[in-house]
Amino acid sequence: MKYPHILLFVLAITCSGLMGCSSGTSAQIVPQMEGLTQPIPFLHDHATGLKTARQEKKPTLIFFSVPDNTGSQRMMETTFRDEEIKRLAKWLVCIHVDGAQDPALCESLEISSFPTIILSNAHGVEIRRLVGRQTPDQLAVQIHVLLQSAVLRPQSVARR
């Protein structure tokens, strides 16, 4: 393996992110924070987002959330407003799916906890699934891995 330290770093970040995450709905509501920068631009239609990804030959970040979930709210207020995440998002097609508005899609993709992020290649093949709240640093590592796999792996191999 050419970069074993990267794999160890990714595993460490992934494990630490999963251990402290709450995947259920919380009764506590995070107050809206005023004066924040805009979050990354999301498409809100899943089918349109996948079509755009194929046309632009870009991987996707699909964020599944529900309005009353603290983890989902915190990601919208912090993670998706982070400057590094906004910079990386320019290389992706970002789609936001409201699980309360589209439960059939969530069921078909086996999304049972919120927030969940699916990172996929330009053809819609799932590369990685992140369950639970992701900090900007955790998500940045995962996006870097996705982007490297898209560059290093030809699309014909990724479709297997």
pTM summary value:
0.73
Summarised one tens digit per residue, pLDDT across range 11-29 is 444 444 443 443 343 334 4
pLDDT of residue 37: 81
Please state the φ and ψ torsions of residue 12, each to the nearest 5 degrees: -65, -45
Pick from 56, 65, 60, 52: nearest CA to 23: 65
Task: Examine the pLDDT at 58 and tell me if it is beyond 50.
Answer: yes
Structural domains in the chain, CATH included, are 4-17+39-158 (3.40.30.10)
Whether the CB-CB separation of 72 and 39 falls below 8 Å is answered with no
Q: What percent of the chain has pLDDT over 70?
A: 71
Mean pLDDT of the chain: 81
Q: Is the pLDDT of residue 8 over 90?
A: no
